[in-house]
Amino acid sequence: MDAVQTKTTTMRAAVAHRFGGPEVVAVEEVRKPVPKADELLVRVHASTVSIADHRVRSRDVPKGMWFYIPLALGVFRPRKRVLGMDVAGVVEAVGDEVEGFAPGDEVVAMLGSDFGGHAEYVCVSTSKAIARKPANLTWEESVALVFGGSTALSFLNRTRISAGSEVLVNGASGAVGTAAVQLAKHRGARVTAVTSGGNADLVRSLGADRVIDYRAEDFARDGATYDVIVECVGNAPYERVASSLKPDGALLLVITGLRGLLGASRHSRGGRLVTASGEPVTHDDLARLMRLAETGEFRPVIDRTFDLDDIVDAHRYVDTGRKRGNVVLRIA
């Protein structure tokens, strides 16, 4: 009886009890969550280890954002001990108030700041973006669409990109950057990708019309101007790229420090949009991304895949800052 009870009430998860390097994360047996009325219980097959997981685990926040640590990350230990902002898996149970999903459905979900994806099970609130998994993609491929795709879309939805728009993506080879290149191209834009020379072929294969090797050229000083600049690195604040924006252009600060955050509204004048926040991604938004993936118009980019038991190695690789696209964590 005890063995059966343990099997049904516990699960394996990657847990961080303190802040620090990759070695603070360990796989443990923890209590299996029980869904509330508005939640789905998902058996997780895959998640990703992202820059967000790195920041929460290590308390490595953008410059000037020290006040964010106790408020969101925790004071003496991580507030979210099981990381993972996205999942792909099978619905095991649903709460009484859940509509549109049933046990057995194969889904993807963006957990966002709730985290919890690095575990065998997770409860997902219906307030989060949830969609059907693409039937023609694996679990690993499907989850590689979620974090970068949702983040890129949330920012691009703040703009009016159409055929002929000039879009520059700074940091085009990361999870968000590879998604932004593809989604901007899908809307008809001419896309300039800023990355290292070694990633040029990758971003061209995703649709980039022009590639700038940041080691050899400074895009902010070549005289070109853009309708939209998507900043995914943290080194292109408004003060640096203002002359590269068209009069009614938009600077999307996916990564920024306190100075960029405070200056966003101040710089949004004269027709320009400078924003450090995106629009919430909905069920329909995520479903649209999955349909694009099914038709091959939005491709998952996977650098490496690790098993749950190798979670420390996964974090260690993300910490190098050299990943291309996504690092996937295989759970089940």
On whether the CB atoms of residues 52 and 111 are closer than 8 A, the answer is no
SS3 string of 14-55?
EEECCCCCHHHEEEEEEECCCCCCCEEEEEEEEEEECHHHHH
Comparing CA positions, the residue from 41, 179, 49, 4 lying closest to residue 120 is 41
Query: What's the rounded Cα separation, in Å, for the pair 223 and 8?
Result: 62
Q: What is the pLDDT of residues 127-143, one digit of tens each?
A: 999 999 999 999 999 99
Query: What's the rounded Cα separation, in Å, for the pair 48 and 296?
Result: 21
Query: What's the rounded Cα separation, in Å, for the pair 151 and 159?
Result: 14
Amino acid (one-letter) located at 183: L
> Does residue 257 have a pLDDT over 90?
no
Name the helix (H) or strand (E) containing 56.
Answer: helix 51-58
On whether the CB atoms of residues 47 and 329 are closer than 8 A, the answer is yes
Percent of the chain residues topping a pLDDT of 70: 96
pLDDT band at 245 (very low <50, low <70, confident <90, very high): very high
pLDDT of residue 60: 87
Kindly report the number of other CB atoms within 10 A of residue 269's CB atom.
9
Query: What's the rounded Cα separation, in Å, for the pair 34 and 229?
Result: 43
Query: What's the rounded Cα separation, in Å, for the pair 47 and 11?
Result: 16
Comparing CA positions, the residue from 192, 86, 187 lying closest to residue 142 is 86
Query: What's the rounded Cα separation, in Å, for the pair 193 and 184?
Result: 11
Query: What's the rounded Cα separation, in Å, for the pair 85 and 77?
Result: 19
pLDDT of residue 241: 96
Write down the residue that tokens 């790229």 correspond to. Answer: 241
Write down the residue that tokens 């966003």 correspond to. Answer: 264
On whether the CB atoms of residues 180 and 162 are closer than 8 A, the answer is no
> Does residue 72 have a pLDDT over 80?
no
Q: What is the pLDDT of residues 276-287, one digit of tens each?
A: 999 999 999 999
Long-range contacts of 4-8 (CB under 8 A, 24+ apart): 8/32
The distance from CA 219 to its chain's CA centroid, rounded to whole angstroms, is: 25
Mean pLDDT of 108-120: 97
On whether the CB atoms of residues 58 and 20 are closer than 8 A, the answer is yes
On whether the CB atoms of residues 36 and 123 are closer than 8 A, the answer is yes
On whether the CB atoms of residues 29 and 10 are closer than 8 A, the answer is yes
pLDDT of residue 5: 35
Terminal Cα distance for the chain, rounded: 24
> Does residue 316 have a pLDDT over 50?
yes
